[in-house]
Structures are given as C-alpha cells and as structure tokens.
Amino acid sequence: MSAAAAVPPRPEADGELPVLEHAGTYAELTDELLDKVLRPPRWMRPALLLTFLGSLVLFAAIAYTVTTGIGVWGNNIPVAWAFGITNFVWWIGIGHAGTFISAFLLLLEQRWRTSINRFAEAMTLFAVVQAGLFPLLHMGRPWFFYWLVPYPNTMKVWPQFRSALTWDVAAVTTYLTVSLLFWYLGLVPDLAVMRDRARERWRRRAYAIFALGWRGSARDWHRWRIGYGLLGGIATPLVVSVHSVVSSDFAIANLAGWHSLIFPPYFVAGAIYSGFAMVLTLMIPARRLYRVEHVITTRHLDSMAKMLLVTGWIVVYSYAVEAWSAWYSGERYEMYMTLVMRPFGPYAFVYWVVIACNCLTPQIFWWRRARRSAAALWVASLLVQVGMWAERFMLIVTSQAHDFLPSSWGLYRPTVIDGALLFGTMAFFLFLFLLFLRFVPFIPIAELKELKHRVATEREERVHG
C-alpha cells in the first residue's frame, strides 16, 4: 500500500469526486500496477483452481448434452427455448457494458472510464464467450452450426437471411471479433511493459509474442492511437446493434409478448443495465482485494450507480410501455400475455422477482450515501443481475408456454443439466476472468498515466490560470 492512498479526496473541476487519487510519480504508479501482476496475491491460486473445477462442470454438461441429445434439458413443445436462450441473452447483455464503457464513454469524454475500461472489456469478452456457447449447444445438431454462416458450399444453399438467427450469427461474431481486437490493441503497450519487467525468461518470451514488437517509440504511439480510435469508432455502433439483433430473435416472431417493436431499445437498455451490474459485481471485490481504491475511486462507484439508475429507469419505462401497448392494442393474445399470464400465471413468481429486482432495487441510488457505498452497490448489482436473468426467462418462457391454442399450453421445468450449464458458465467466466487478472495488467497503465498527467495539468491550470 503506497502512501498515495492516504491523500484526501479532492474535488475535481466539475465538483465531482476525483477520478484518480494518486500522489506519487508516474514510475511509482507503473510499479504499483505492475506489481499486481508480477506478484499475484495469495488467494489467486485457490481461486483459479476452484473456478476451474466449476468449469469442468460446464464441460461435462456440454459433453453430456452433445452426446445424448438436447432432451437432457427441460425444453419441450411448446417451450422450445428456455434456459439456453435465456442464458445466451443474459450473457450477451452483460457483455455490453465493456464496449459501452470503453467506446461510448470514450466518445463522450467521460474520464472515469479509464481506470475500469480494460476490466470491463475483458468482462465483455468473456461474457460473449459464455453467450456464444448457448446458441451452439441449444441446436439439435450442433455439429452443423456452420450452416448458419454464408459460405460457398457444394450444397449450393445459403442461410436464410430473413431469419433473425442468421443476423445473430453475424452480429455476435462481429461483436466478439471487434471486442477482442479492441481489448487486445489496448493491451499492447502494457504487454510490452510486462515483457520488459517479467522475471522469468519464458514469461518475457510469451509477453514478447503478444506485445507485437512494441518499442514505445513516438511512431508506435501514433499508429496505436489511430488504430485504437478507429476500433473504438467501429465498436460504438455495435453496442446498439448486437442487442437489437438479439431482440429480433423474439420481435420477428408472431408470439404474443415477443412480437413487439419496443424490443430493440428495451433490450439494449436492459443489456447495459445488467452489464454495469456485472462490472460492479466484479470490480468492487477486485478493487478491494488488489487495494486499488485510489485508482478505482468512489467517483467510479458514484458514476456507475447513476448509470444503473438511468438504465434501470429505461427498463422500467419499457415494462410500462409494453403493458400499455398490450392493453391499447386490444389484441386478445397480447393482453392475456402481458396483463394476465406474466403477472398472475404459473410463472408469476418470476415476474415479481423481475419487478422487485429491476424496478425497485436501483431506486436506492437516489441517495448519495447508497451510491458511494461499495456494499450497497455490490448487493444491488447482484440483485439487478438476478432480475435481468429472470426478465429474460420470463420474456422467453411465458410467451411460449401459453401461446395461441390452449390445447398446446405447457410448462417448462429446468433439469439438473440446465442448472449445470448456467452454473458452469458462471464458473468458466470467473475462471477466464481470474486468468486475465493473473496475467495482464487489468488497469491500463499507459492510459492511466495519461489521465494522471491530464488531471495534474488541469489542476495546475486551475491554480495558476
């Protein structure tokens, strides 16, 4: 723990809390942040082992599903999509926060994004990896997944471009690719530092490969900046497009409760909502365990809480509009679904969990004390994630369970395998995340020093100007 943390928080120019509370030199900042990777905390090894074992549960469940058949899940007719697609939408939604923070907030010149952007991007990447598993696994014959990709083939058959599932493939793979590149490109300067500082030879070799021969020359920095900016520009619209496309999986169908024009913005808002919650869920413990409260400051917590409140309200508004338009349409099936089946039907419990977690929880952030309390935020972030998962489950399952013909109404009950897949992806996600914490600087060192410089310059300008 450096002495820097003892510096009392000084308000910034905009009257907000400071985004960085570091009083030392640049070199000290570099040393401190590198130290987190070069000398991993003691809990790292058991944590990795634990999450790896959890990941094995996932792999076992996948192997069982693929070898035996999708029937090991609880899905049926009418509920042909259930946990699998719920998990997919949930994970991909979580993945939205990273790009939102690094690209969107970059464009909006929000400086508080710097300390957490790499963290959030890594989370995005790993969440998209989890998400990507489900569309593959939920297929009856996953070994033919590539038929959804337009590639020249001897069958002379293309995918069906009217289906939202083909858009999904394009959207998700694009998102994964761009997120990966964006994250990786941002990492390059720090990987070079790791290459220079790592103790063992093999580590230096490994980092050297990934550092792409970075030398820190002005030309390197120049090119890097252009590339990073360009990728940021490309990534920004993806924040909106991916979840809009995912929402079309439902919106283009004719089922009551799915067939709705509000879905794209509603899903995007929900995605960012759950994504921010996930960032908080991971960040709050990491910040404490790694003792970086002076880098990821209360200011960050405060801003994130406000984001939760805003996106939470968009979600609340979407719920309201959905109910209102169902009633206003006068359409029997829509009204039944939105006003009867969901709140009072067999899955009513899920509905009320959604309302409690997604609508009520963020309201505590009207109070500043709650916004600045790590504990309150952490609990709230968990609740929001539970709520968002439940929301997806409710949207997906209720509409199928009670559709047009009462004769085919049926309920879905998850099986152990369904549970194992959900739990397993969580473990695998954490495992990947821990690997990330273990091997790369999770706070962008170069960018942070730049921020430090700007903050200092501004302060000087304020003092002298």
Partner 1 sequence: MTSAREARAFDDDDDPRRRRAAALAIALEDARDPIARRDFLARMGAALALAGLGACTRAPRQEIVPYVVQPPEVTPGVPRHYATASTLDGYAIGLVVESHEGRPTKIEGNPEHPASLGAAGAFEQASVLSLYDPGRARAVTERGSVVAWSRVEEALTRGAWTSTEGKGLHLLLQPTSSPTLAALLDEIRERLPRAAISFYSPTAPENAWEGARFAFGRVLEPRFALERADVVVSLEADFLTTGPARLRLARSFADRRAALDAMIRLYVVEAICSVTGAMADHRLRVRSGEILAVAAELASAVGLPGLPGGVPPTLRAAAAPHRAWIAATARDLAAHRGRSAVIVGNSQPPEVHALAHAINAALGNLGTTVTLAPSPVVDAGGPAHDTARLAGELADGQVDTLVVCGTNVAYASPADQSLGELLARARQSAYLGLHADETAAKCTFVIPEAHALESWGDTRAFDGTASIVQPLIDPLFGGRTELELLSLFTTRRDARAYDRVRARVHADLTRGGAGADLEQRWRRALKRGIVDDTTIAPVDARVDWAALAKRLARTTPTPPPALELVIRPDPRVHDGRFAANAWLLELPHPITKLTWANAATVSVQAAAQHGLETGDEIELRASGATITAAVIVVPGQADGSIGLTLGWGRTRGAELAHGRGANAFALAAGVAVAPLSVDIRKTGARHDLAITQRQRDLAGRDEDILRHATLEEHRRSRPPPRDEGRRHLTLYTKEPREDVHQWGMAIDLTRCTGCGACVIACQAENNVPTVGPDAVYLGREMHWLRVDTYLVGDPEDPEIAPQPMLCQHCETAPCEYVCPVNATVHSADGLNEMVYNRCVGTRFCSNNCPYKVRRFNWFDFHRGEDATRELAHNPDVTVRQRGVMEKCTFCVQRLREHGIRERQGRAAAPPRTACQQTCPSAAIVFGDLRDASSDVARLRSDERAYAVLGELGTEPRVRYLARLKNPNPELG
Contact residues: partner 1, CB under 8 A: 68-71, 74-81, 138-142, 144-145, 147-148, 157-160, 162-166, 169, 249, 252-255, 332, 336, 400, 403-411, 413
3-state secondary structure at position 147: helix
Contact 241, 170 (CB under 8 A): no
Nearer to partner 1, 166 or 358 (CB): 166
Output the furthest CA–CA distance in the chain (Å, rounded).
78
In the bound complex, what is the minimum distance in angstroms from residue 121's beta carbon to partner 1? 29
Helix (H, G, I), strand (E, B) or coil at 184: helix
Q: CB–CB of 115/448 below 8 Å?
A: yes
Alpha helix stretches (DSSP H) within 252-297: 263-289
Show Cβ contacts of residue 229 under 8 Å, excluding neighbours closer than 6 positions: none
User: Cβ of residue 155: shortest distance to partner 1, in angstroms?
Assistant: 8
Cβ closest to partner 1, residue 186 vs residue 257: 257
Nearest-approach distance from CB 160 to partner 1, in angstroms? 5
| DSSP E strand boundaries for 265-381 | none
Q: Please state the length of the chain.
A: 465
How many alpha carbons lie under 13 Å from residue 449 in its C-beta half-sphere? Answer: 14
Q: Select 336 or 429, whichever has its Cβ closest to partner 1.
A: 336
Q: Is 295 in contact with 448 (CB distance < 8 Å)? A: yes
CA 326 – CA 337 distance, rounded (Å): 8
Q: How far is the CB of 85 from partner 1 (least distance, A)?
A: 10
Tally of CB atoms within 10 A around 68: 10
Q: How far is the CB of 80 from partner 1 (least distance, A)?
A: 4
Nearer to partner 1 among residue 59 and residue 158 (C-beta): 158
Q: How far apart are CA 98 and CA 94, in angstroms?
A: 8
How far apart are alpha carbons 351 and 101 in whole angstroms? 30
Residue with smaller CB distance to partner 1, 242 or 384: 242
What is the secondary structure of 103-143 as a DSSP string? IIHHHTT-GGGHHHHHHHHHHHHHHHHHHHHHHHHTSSSGG
For the CB of residue 440, give the shortest distance to partner 1 in the complex, in Å: 36
Nearer to partner 1, 13 or 340 (CB): 340
User: Minimum distance from CB of 259 to partner 1 (Å)?
Assistant: 10
Burial status of residue 226 (CB atoms within 10 A of its CB: 0-12, 13-18, 19 or more): exposed
CB 146 within 8 A of CB 313: no
Q: Which is nearer to partner 1, 57 or 169 (CB)?
A: 169
Sign of the CA dihedral with 461 first, then 463, 464, and 465 last: positive
Q: Residue 412 CB, nearest distance to partner 1 (Å)?
A: 8
Q: Which letter does DSSP use for residue 214 in this model?
A: -
Q: How far is CA 210 from CA 197, 198, 322, in A?
A: 14, 14, 48
Q: How far is the CB of 258 from partner 1 (least distance, A)?
A: 8
For partner 1, give the closer residue by CB, 252 or 435: 252
Least distance from C-beta 162 to partner 1, angstroms? 4
Nearer to partner 1, 170 or 185 (CB): 170
Question: Which of 336, 365 has the CB closer to partner 1?
Answer: 336
Beta carbon of residue 254, minimum distance to partner 1 (angstroms, whole number)? 5
CA atoms within 13 A on the CB side of 303: 19
Question: How many Å apart are CA 135 and CA 148, to the nearest integer?
Answer: 11
Q: How far apart are CA 310 and CA 365, in angstroms?
A: 10
Residue whose CB is less far from partner 1, 3 or 77: 77
d(CA 35, CA 443): 12
Residue among 25 and 408 whose Cβ is closer to partner 1: 408
Kindly state the smallest distance separating residue 157's Cβ from partner 1, in Å.
6
